[in-house]
Structure 1
């Protein structure tokens, strides 16, 4: 072994997704939005501003593949967050629904729009500091208004973040099982059932892969939102479950209506993750109603 080899072996491993100080860097930027999506993002900004007039709007963000620069034309969706100065009302949700439907109808480059509504106090609360706060500060790209990241911590890929971001997958399991059972026993047309199963498969698979990744994130020491890489990182620490997690990552990207896929996710991976997560990271802070 040469002296140069020794230097390379002794050098610390630099994980992706981190700023020079070791905190998690914000992953998206408007500068990363592909040209084909630029008008869509500009239009979303204008429609959000018009939908929430009178000073109710605090800020807005875009997240997901579009600000990361990795969307798939006609297959990726547009993900938005709107932050209001007061708790969202039913009228606010109706306004958000109109924005979603209008953008989806007017832009063929996307396959659906999701707009989440929150208020400032919730996002800055101690309870959400390492959950929704992290989501806004690191995974969302500012679109309108004052950036809440300035009032939130710099996050590290540690056990606290792992516990608070994905430590509640067990709470989602019962609802997923209910939806799976309802779709499987539905007398609706086959196409409708297949659509429901595919949508559920995508939702569950995404959550499962992200939970698997954050289970091992503190040991890995970095951050990524790439589902395929998340599955590979997970498999490094739990090789016996690696093949199942890789399949989940594939379904998250290209969902299937095959009931056996959801059976694997709901009866194998999710219960195992919930039990293992609790053992490794402890219980997540209790939310109202739980």
Structure 2
């Protein structure tokens, strides 16, 4: 039976369909995924509740030598600083061994946090809809189904205004190095495009993780800012080290998005961290 393609990322009932699958992992990346699975088990042992992939590899859009490996590890207890260091060392080892990827990252959380009421429409949504199960008990079974509504918009990306001061600090720290600015451009570009998309998500009535599709969805409602967001989507894939780009993000596009987001959806509930 042919697989049904969700309409704008939604299932027939209008809920956001889970994106990604291990069956979508491109052939070139399958040895990498198998090695990551085995090493996560070895590293965390009985403390491991579950593990997930997210990003382009489980979506089937990864590019050899260009894409990164993104992993979520869930422990039964809250992870410590040493656990996060071990997770990062794991990714660095895989990056050296497998030329298919260009870096990556490991997010670590405790099970209780991901299932908490505070995180239901942020990290809970992330795991249930944007992550692909790799190991263990799938937390999506304990989480609700999600619609592309204003509550989801607020709780996923309604904190941009809180992030901008820290972004300015990071830009200042990288002021003398184009090489250090490049990953900042990539990270901030992606975050701004995702925020722009979720700003219009309830009106667009769907979900996508494709940066260019996000930019086009946004452009339909804010044509006066369309070219800025389209350019950010391009830099999310091909980042530059241009300091002027980062300045424009924290002095123009970022503050405008934060203000408009607060006006339309409100501000994300505060988090302890």
- What TM-score, normalized by structure 1, do the two folds share? 0.90
Alignment match, 1:177: 168
CA deviation profile, 1:52-85 (whole Å, cap 9, x unmatched)? 02x2000000000000000111010000000000
User: Would you say the 8 A contact 2:219–2:225 is kept in 1?
Assistant: yes
CA-CA distance at 1:169 after TM superposition? 0.8
Once the two structures are TM-superposed, the CA of residue 15 in structure 1 deviates from its matched residue by: 4.2
Q: Over residues 217-258 of structure 1, what are the superposed CA-to-partner deviations in whole Å (9 max), with x where a residue is unaligned? A: 000000000000100100100000001110111111100011
Partner of 2:9, secondary structure, is: coil
Misfit runs of 4+, over 6 Å: none
Q: 2:16 aligns with which of 13, 20, 24?
A: 24
Shift of 1:95: 2.0
Offset, 1:259: 1.4
- Superposed CA deviations along residues 167-193 of structure 1, whole A, max 9, x for unmatched, are 001111111111112222x4xxxxxx1
Q: Secondary structure at the match of 1:59?
A: strand
* Other structure's SS at 1:127 match: helix
2:32 match: 40
Q: Which one of 19, 42, 45 corresponds to residue 50 of structure 1?
A: 42
> How far apart, CA to CA, are the structure 1 residues paired with 2:213 and 2:179?
27
What stretches of structure 1 of length at least 5 have no aligned partner?
Answer: 1-13, 187-192
1:225 aligns to 2:216 (yes or no)? no
The equivalent residue for 2:237 is 253
Tell me the alpha carbon deviations over residues 17-46 of structure 1, each in whole angstroms, 9 at most, x when there is no partner: 011111000110000000000110010000
The correspondence of residues 146-157 of structure 1 with structure 2, limited to 5 A, is 146-157=137-148
Distance 1:171 1:198 in 2: 22
> If you compute each CA radius of gyration, which structure gives the higher value, 1 or 2?
1
Correspondence 1:209 to 2:193: yes
Structure 1 residue 113: deviation in Å? 2.1
Residue 237 of structure 1 aligns to a residue whose secondary structure is coil
Are 2:8 and 2:207, in contact at CA under 8 Å, matched by a contact in 1?
yes
| 2:150 counterpart residue number | 159
1:94 CA displacement: 2.8
8 Å Cα contact 1:15/1:221 also seen in 2 = no
Secondary structure at 2:174 match in 1: helix
TM-score, length-normalised on structure 2? 0.96
Q: Does 1:275 align with 2:266?
A: no
CA distance in 1, matches of 2:242, 2:84: 33
What count of residue pairs does the alignment treat as equivalent?
Answer: 268
What are the ranges of 5 or more consecutive residues in structure 2 without an aligned counterpart? 1-5
